[in-house]
Amino acid sequence: MITCSEQQRIACAIGGVFTALAIEKVLPVMHSGPGCLQNSGGVLGRFNGCQSGVSYPDSIIPSTNFCDKDVVFGAADRLRRLVKKSLEYYKTDMVLLVDGCGSEIVGDDIEEVASDFADSSAPVIYAKLPGFKGNNLWGHAQVLKSIANQYLIGQPRGGYNEKQVNVFGIVPYFDSFWTAELEELEKVLRILGLEPNIIYGRGKGIAAINKIPQAAFNLVLAPWTDIEFAEHLREIFGTPYFQYPCLPIGPTETARFIRAITEYAKLDRQNAEDYIKREEDRYFYYVKNAIRVFVGSPVTPRRFYINSSAAQAVSLTRFLVNDWGMTPIKIFITDDAPVPYQDNITAFLRDIECNDAEDFDIIFTNDGGLCDQELAKETFPYRRICLFGTCWDQLTANNKRLPFLPVSAPYGDAAVGNTSYFGYDGALVFIQDLYRDMTQKILGSGIVANLEEAAGH
């Protein structure tokens, strides 16, 4: 039988360009077909919370527009001219040459082209990102390695900073909420007494990249992404890393994270506990204010499906189970997590305060349509089930009238802005968003409840 994967939730390797776009004034120069970046931008940009490159919107990124005749004759000379003009016309702190499938197969040597600009006004490095070698998460890793190997190693190293921590694990643009997550995480780490060094987002850029070797340790907030890069930084700079398997949501996981990093970095424990108490008091004030309508409602969902990336699945599962007493039914991991990491991801998902932690299924797949196919066969007479996934799952949720929230790429064409589900405040936003969708799906309106239908279900 011939099968195909449905509902794309990852982009091809050239989507790693969006990691470069998240670093201020790093200019990608594309040696690829004219539609390559646009196709990746559908999953990682405009249909993932209406995002776009800040320093350089994807519509103005230079490209050789590699075409049919270039497959025969090559286009390395045209790339050289394009790089020269890009350095002349764009204000940039770094140029990243990127090739795609066609130019990689033909054998155009972007490494040689980059070497021709060793004495240019801005460093020129390269990353080979043909789509046949991997997805955008693989491409993300290649971009980071290119920065480390071709730029950082040759730079003078500043002094060691015992309070500095480099933050990795959150993949920009692939994580729909990355900008707000990193801003809020930076605030928390500073309160704890650390000096976070984050290379993505507003006000970061090359200055933050230059500081990477100075850190006391690297923090990886993910079940598998950026682990390999953290190990690489340990090899070349001797910097240890601390992995926390998810970006915490809610009081239980956030307190657990704060205590874990406080212990690892030997920070002030009393300061950490005081912060936890202040935030928990505030969080539970708001939760108690709404607990009658959310927890006390007979139509509030008690079980859930997840169809998302591993990072979001671990964060959400721990929050929904540990803080809200919900039970997972089945979790689909759709970010093509490498096989060597899958056992760890499974362990992270089952590390929850639940007597039935072994009873739910975990499926690793690159076919996002499997979850929707399964849900289409199910009947939910009481509709006390909710679904978390991407905008692809919205139609299934609407057809079944299941409470639903998009939590990973592609998020949809709704603007994300500075929304985040991270930490204490993020958990409150999550509850508000879920309750709003729940009332619309089950009661019919968030203002006038359809009590007759609610009573019957």
pLDDT of residue 447: 47
* 152-180 CB burial, b ≥16 within 10 A, e <16: beeeeeeeeeeebbbbbbbbbbbbbbbbb
pLDDT over 70 percentage in the chain: 91
Domain ranges in the chain are 13-154, 161-265, 290-456
pLDDT, greater one: 45 or 263: 263
Asked if the model's pLDDT at residue 451 lies above 60, the reply is: no
Confidence of residue 141 (pLDDT cuts 50, 70, 90): very high
> Which pLDDT value is given to residue 38?
81
Give the per-residue pLDDT at 366.
Answer: 87
pLDDT of 179:
95
Q: Is the pLDDT of residue 145 over 90?
A: yes
Is residue 176 over pLDDT 60? yes
User: 155: pLDDT confidence band, cut at 50, 70 and 90?
Assistant: confident
- Binned at pLDDT 50, 70 and 90, residue 357 comes out as low
Is residue 388 within 8 Å of 405, Cβ to Cβ? yes
Please write the tens of the pLDDT for every residue from 160-171: 999 999 999 999
**Pick from 19-33, 192-206, 256-270, 298-312: least confident:** 298-312
Q: Quick one: pLDDT at residue 450?
A: 47
pLDDT band at 381 (very low <50, low <70, confident <90, very high): low
Model confidence at 201, in pLDDT bands (50, 70, 90)?
very high
Average pLDDT for residues 4-16, to the nearest whole number?
Answer: 84
User: Do the domains spanning 161-265 and 290-456 agree at the CATH topology level?
Assistant: yes
**121 burial class (0-12, 13-18, 19+ CB within 10 angstroms)?**
exposed
pLDDT tens string 40-52: 888 898 889 888 8
Distance CA 108, CA 71 (A): 10
The answer to whether residue 382 scores a pLDDT higher than 90 is no
Instruction: Quickly state the pLDDT bin for 133 (edges 50, 70, 90).
Output: very high
* Confidence check: pLDDT of 448 > 60: no
* pLDDT over 90 at 266, yes or no: yes
Name the residue among 125, 118, 76 with its Cα closest to residue 96.
125
* CATH number, span 290-456: 3.40.50.1980
Q: What is the pLDDT of residues 404-429, one digit of tens each?
A: 999 999 999 888 889 999 999 999 99
CA distances from 242 to 42, 69, 219, 223, 282 (A): 33, 49, 5, 12, 29
Please determine, for residue 444, whether its predicted confidence score (pLDDT) is greater than 70: no
161-265 carries CATH number 3.40.50.1980: yes
Residue found by looking up tokens 């006038």 in the block: 448
90 — phi, psi (to 5°)?
-105, 145
Task: Supply φ then ψ for residue 40, to 5 degrees.
Answer: -65, -35
211 against 450, higher pLDDT: 211
In the predicted model, what is the mean pLDDT of residues 192-207? 96
SS3 of residue 337 by DSSP: coil
Q: Is the pLDDT of residue 291 over 80?
A: no
**Comparing 123-132, 136-145, 382-391, which segment has the lowest mean pLDDT?**
382-391
Tokens 């009573």, located at residue = 455
Domain 13-154 top-level CATH class:
alpha beta
Q: Report the chain's mean pLDDT, rounded to a whole number.
A: 90
All residues at 6 or more sequence positions from 17 whose CB lies less than 8 Å from its CB, including other chains:
28, 30, 37, 40, 61, 96, 98, 129, 139, 143
pLDDT tens for each residue of 99-129: 988 888 888 889 999 999 999 999 999 999 9
